[in-house]
Chain A
Amino acid sequence: AQKVTQAQTEISVVEKEDVTLDCVYETRDTTYYLFWYKQPPSGELVFLIRRNSFDEQNEISGRYSWNFQKSTSSFNFTITASQVVDSAVYFCALSEHTSGTYKYIFGTGTRLKVLA
């Protein structure tokens, strides 16, 4: 069965610390997509990154970086020099391809609190 596990329920860090959010997934598909979304208190899910299962290159975007390791089925997300505005719930998601279309399987989320 397709599954996404975010074992960290809540993380608190002090501003400027680095923080890594873990994501482990299970899938029977050979081609799939992985995503990270940010959910601020407003409720909207904000897209951060999409990664194709064939592309294991790590990616850096400003203070954000992602480490995709197919061998361990992990797709971890690191925020460098965290800021108070990074406080939110972060979701990892896996695409499931059925009937010619995609739906997402989300993890339970990690609540990040960045303290000033």
Chain B
Amino acid sequence: DAGVTQSPTHLIKTRGQQVTLRCSPKSGHDTVSWYQQALGQGPQFIFQYYEEEERQRGNFPDRFSGHQFPNYSSELNVNALLLGDSALYLCASSSGTGAHGYTFGSGTRLTVV
């Protein structure tokens, strides 16, 4: 049973560019959340998707957007990249509200130069 799968594992982009990160949730899970983890910090909540809609959003600018597909997979898009966007981006999936815990993927390491 595959857990949460994220792609790509590593990515290098130039300031001002746009990037798309992808996530396939654990089998049986229908909710996907995205977190940003800067070096030496704890993960910060970006947003959560359920039934193809953004259900909750953290304190991130509109440059960060997402999408959820009918098969529950999800994408995170970041426009106009800044150096400060360099981080590990973690996808987490759960069933329903997430009260019972999330399963996290290994993340995508984004470096903006």
Interface residues of A (CB under 8 A from B): 4, 33, 35, 37, 42-47, 50, 91, 93, 95, 98-109
- Chain A residues with CB under 8 A of B90: 43, 45
Whether the pair B42, A103 counts as a contact (CB closer than 8 A) is no
Q: Please, how many residues of chain B have a CB less than 8 angstroms from a CB on the other chain? A: 29
**Which residues of B are found within 8 Å of A108, using beta-carbon distances?**
40-42
Query: Is A44's CB under 8 angstroms from B106's CB?
Result: yes
Q: Please indicate the chain A residues that have their CB under 8 angstroms from the CB of B45 in the complex.
A: 103-105
Cβ–Cβ contact A103 & B58, under 8 A = yes
Residues of chain A contacted by B50 (CB below 8 angstroms):
101
Q: How far is the CB of A39 from chain B (nearest CB, A)?
A: 9
Which B residues are within 8 Å of any A CB, using their own CB?
A: 31, 33, 35, 40-45, 48, 50, 55-56, 58, 88, 90, 92, 97-107, 109
Contact B106 A42 (CB under 8 A): yes
Contacts of B106 on A, CB cut-off 8 Å?
Answer: 42-44
Extra A-B contacts (5), CB below 8 Å, given A50-B101, A95-B98: A44-B105, A47-B104, A93-B42, A101-B55, A109-B42
Partner of B43, one of A46, A99, A102, A106: A106
A6, closest chain B residue (CB): B42
CA distance A108 to B40 in the complex (A): 7
Chain A's closest residue to B31 (CB) is: A101
Residues in A with CB closer than 8 Å to B41 are: 108-109
Q: Which residues of B contact A103 (CB under 8 A)?
A: 33, 45, 48, 56, 58, 98
Query: How many Å lie between the Cα of A2 and that of B97 in the bound state?
Result: 19
Selected A-B contacts with CB under 8 Å, 20 pairs? A37-B104, A43-B90, A43-B107, A44-B105, A45-B43, A45-B90, A45-B92, A45-B104, A47-B101, A50-B101, A99-B55, A101-B31, A101-B56, A101-B97, A101-B98, A102-B98, A103-B33, A104-B43, A109-B40, A109-B41
